[in-house]
Amino acid sequence: QVTLVESGGGSVQAGGSLSLSCAVSGRTFSLSSVAWFRQAPTKEREFVAKLRWSDTSTSYADSAKGRFTISRDNAKNTVNLSMNNLKPEDTAVYYCAASPFSSTIDRRLYNYWGQGIQVTVSS
């Protein structure tokens, strides 16, 4: 079993920055990927960024490239998402998720999920 707990988030004006943190605990040896997804009202949950657990290589959705950075803090066992130059369209509930697969951004292959945390960007 793997447990994911998100923290951070909140409200910010457009152009501002926020950071999210995902505390990862439990059977982490079974993980290959930890990712952030988001879901805006009336929209499907979408991939934002992914980090491969073994070598911390990363990948991003086009909407996140150049603005968001995903990273791992080994000391705290967290996966963090730093978000800069935020836009109103970034408003969503952000979820941390973990998968035993190393090369997927398909949310159906992520079997561990955090509870979600709200990010609101006002114009």
% of the chain exceeding 70 in pLDDT:
100
Is residue 36 within 8 Å of 70, Cβ to Cβ?
A: yes
pLDDT digits (tens, 9 = 90+) for 53-94: 888 899 999 999 999 999 999 999 999 999 999 999 999 999
Query: Is 90 exceeded by the pLDDT of residue 31?
Result: no
Which H helix or E strand runs over 11?
strand 10-13
pLDDT at 95 over 90: yes
Question: Which two three-digit tokens encode residue 95?
Answer: 């979820």
Is it the case that residue 121 has pLDDT exceeding 90?
yes
Q: How high does pLDDT run on average in the chain?
A: 95
d(CA 104, CA 43): 21
As a whole number of angstroms, the distance between CA 3 and CA 94 comes to: 16
Measured in residues, the chain has a length of 123
| Whether residue 10 has pLDDT greater than 90 | yes
